[in-house]
A and B are shown apart, each in its own frame.
Chain A
């Protein structure tokens, strides 16, 4: 079963081509990684696939739903952790998750919020306004919000950034469990050592175009690790 299918995905900002004819396919239950230098088009691609941005040309289906025609339906079935951790400034940590639960019409909300508060040890932040939280705590909150409705597919843009090593490991284990249970992860990241441990397949994007795709072993090729292979592929 296909989780994500994009064909000819192109995005132009004036004369700048942010994405050029991207074709990509991710199966359900896959942990898919997207790597690329800064400004390569990772976030643009992620925003298009999650219905946040319209492509200039081409299209994509996520869990069988057209992202251009039905962006709200796409957002209702997936989870998103954006590049910038930006929960609403004037809600408390608890209220933000409550708000997300209400918008998504989630049943058994209190239990789910309690579970994520426990998972990320957010009790101390419960009554603090989001604008006063540390970056790491805000990132935990965005992760909790993305998984609150137990989606079948999550899009994560640098989910490990700002987390301390303890929570990086905890999140890594959770994501492995999540994929093991049939969930699908599409993750854009620069942390290649983490990606190497987690991803089933990866794609490398440069200047808005996919330049390589395959399993971690295929991409690594003769190199000793994914980082060396990545540097070779992007010509650094």
Chain B
């Protein structure tokens, strides 16, 4: 079954971007990793090696956390909110199979899939850099092995917590609260070292290229593997075998919303449906956490660089404003993952109309989150003097990045971002202005007039590009179909 599930996953991805384009993705990762390795000598002059390793394990752990929430996905698969598609995970409904087994299959499948797609190509990039960097192969092997441990821990934790959610939402809240407190204690207050909760990091600190102490390294490896096995076993145990959809009667809200939004004329029904979907599918909470988590990570990283690494970089409110705006892509992605759109093919609406409805709902729903975050971070850092500059940046960059994402990926953001061609264009269109704004934000304290003029120019270019792309959405997506 595992082999079939892997084949299924491969076909799902290649159905979006084509076999060749999809296979190019790990090659891009390899090249990217090679480039970082080659420039690492310069990086290590600013960031001590041990800190770089810490950041790497934390990143890999968070990545694992983001791909392991099968408890949420499984319910979607089983309730058929994926249009005409059906997946092997839903087969226990009609075959003498156990749901627990298919969920375990999903875990193993995704572990293999993402290792092959990202971790292995990144490691190959490091190996290819050996003639230039003279990295030791054993150090790269250790990095891969311990990184894998951090990744699997993230995946397992996410898998476990999402299956807790399937059983009991209060228990889920308690779990998330406990885990957040643990990481807050390690990450921000440093009450406990991060290596206590990331066994991969703890093991790495006792292996090459650090002074080797196999005994000290073995202990976190064994305990880490034990925790992973326990979390996966717990998650599998918690998967309910009788996976019945929850039948819920709800209050009719659509007519009230349509009446309230009638000024938006033709978009009122589509937009109202978006809001109802987001509320009833629980996507508001997912959007909130998937937006806030990278923001917290960003705040932690900036704090760590400034105070932990003592690197004198001025992370001011304007810097945060640029970053926050660019996180909008995550929210647009969620808007496209709520429900299948097949039924819209039977109605007189076009794909560009639905894209525009999603863009309007993004503006109405999420702009205040970004502005609010920048306001809070400015207040926390006692840096409110730059809010007049930061707020326009959040607004313009938020709208820009979402329009870029909508233009490039239409209604299939999650899938098209796996297409290397789309990913490359997206990277250029997002990284260039973000890089420009970041550099300009660092120059504010030296020359405010220069920085604000530069920022105004960047924002004007972004606004003009946004307008052109908005106009272009119609031509690009007019001929496309709803659904698969």
A contacts, CB < 8 Å to B? 47, 50, 52-54, 71-73, 75-76, 80-82, 84, 86-92, 94-95, 98-100, 102-104, 127-129, 131-132, 142, 145-146
B251 (CB) vs chain A CBs: closest residue:
A127
**CB within 8 A of A128: which of B83, B249, B343?**
B249
Question: From residue B439, how far is it (CB to closest CB) to chain A in Å?
Answer: 44
7 closest A-B pairs by CB: A102-B269, A76-B348, A80-B346, A95-B254, A75-B348, A90-B280, A127-B249
Select which of A84, A95, A103, A132 is within 8 A of B248 by beta carbon: A132
B348 touches A73 (CB 8 A): yes
Give chain B residues whose Cβ lies under 8 Å from the Cβ of A128: 247-250
Closest to B80 in A: A131
User: Mask for B248-289, Cβ within 8 A of A = 1, else 0?
Assistant: 111111110010000000001110110011001100000000
Q: Does B211 contact A (CB under 8 A)?
A: no
Q: Which residues of A contact B268 (CB under 8 A)?
A: 102
Stretch at the interface among B9-17, B219-227, B334-342: B334-342
| Residues on A with beta carbons closer than 8 Å to the beta carbon of B348 | 72-73, 75-76, 103-104
Q: Is the CB of B281 within 8 A of A89?
A: yes
The reply to whether A75 and B347 contact each other, CB–CB distance below 8 Å, is yes
Within the complex, what minimum Cβ distance (angstroms) separates A210 from chain B? 24
Docked CA distance A81–B340 (Å): 17
Q: Inside 8 A of B248's CB, which chain A residues have their CB?
A: 128-129, 132
A88-B248 Cα distance, complex, nearest whole Å: 15
Give the residue name and chain of the A residue nearest to B83 (CB): A86
What residues of chain B lie closer than 8 Å to A129, measured between beta carbons? 248, 250, 280
Find out whether the CB atom of A132 lies under 8 angstroms from the CB atom of B338. no
Q: CB-CB < 8 A to A52: which residues of B?
A: 345-346, 481-482
Known pairs A89-B340, A142-B346 / 4 extra A-B pairs, C-beta < 8 Å: A90-B281, A90-B338, A102-B258, A128-B247
Pick from A47, A53, A86, A87 the residue with the most CB of B within 10 Å.
A86
Nearest Cβ on chain A to B445's Cβ, whole angstroms: 49
Are A91 and B342 in contact, CB atoms less than 8 angstroms apart?
no
Q: A98-B254, A99-B254, A127-B252 are in contact. Are A86 and B79 (CB under 8 A)?
A: no
Residue B350 interfacial (CB < 8 Å):
yes
B353 CB → nearest A CB, Å: 9
A95 is contacted by which of B276, B339, B345, B346 (Cβ under 8 Å)? Answer: B276
Question: For B482, what are the chain A residues with a Cβ–Cβ distance below 8 Å?
Answer: 52
Q: How many A-B residue pairs have CB under 8 A?
A: 103
Fill in one digit per residue for B316-353: 1 if any A CB lies within 8 Å of its CB, else 0.
00000000000000000000001110110111111000
- Chain B interface (Cβ within 8 Å of chain A)? 79-81, 83-84, 245-255, 258, 268-270, 272-273, 276-277, 280-281, 338-340, 342-343, 345-350, 479, 481-482
Are B346 and A131 in contact, with the CB atoms below 8 A?
Answer: no
Q: What's the least CB distance linking B262 to chain A, in Å? A: 10
B255 touches A98 (CB 8 A): yes
Residues A87 and B343 in contact in the complex (CB < 8 Å), given A52-B481, A95-B254, A127-B251: yes
Bound: A90/B255 CA distance, A:
14
* Nearest-neighbor residue (CB-CB) of A84 within chain B: B84
CA–CA, A98 to B249, complex, Å? Answer: 17
Q: What is the chain B residue whose CB lies nearest that of A74? A: B348
Report how far A75 CA is from B351 CA in the complex, Å.
Answer: 14
Contacts of B340 in A (CB 8 A): 86, 89
Interface residue from B249, B252, B277 paired with A90 (Cβ < 8 Å): B277
Q: How far is the CA of A164 from the CA of B367 in the complex (A)?
A: 49
Residue of A nearest to B280 (CB): A90
A90–B276 contact, CB under 8 A? yes
Q: Would you give the shortest CB distance from A124 to chain B, in whole angstroms? A: 10
Alpha-carbon distance A90/B246, docked complex (angstroms): 12
Question: Would you give the shortest CB distance from B431 to chain A, in whole angstroms?
Answer: 35
Check A75 against B346 for contact (C-beta < 8 Å). Answer: yes
On whether the beta carbons of A89 and B79 are closer than 8 Å, the reply is yes
Query: Which of B245, B246, B269, B339 interacts with A99 by CB under 8 Å?
Result: B269
Q: How far is the CB of B166 from chain A (nearest CB, A)?
A: 16
CB of B342 within 8 A of CB of A84, answer yes
Task: Judge whether B277 and A104 touch: CB under 8 Å.
Answer: no
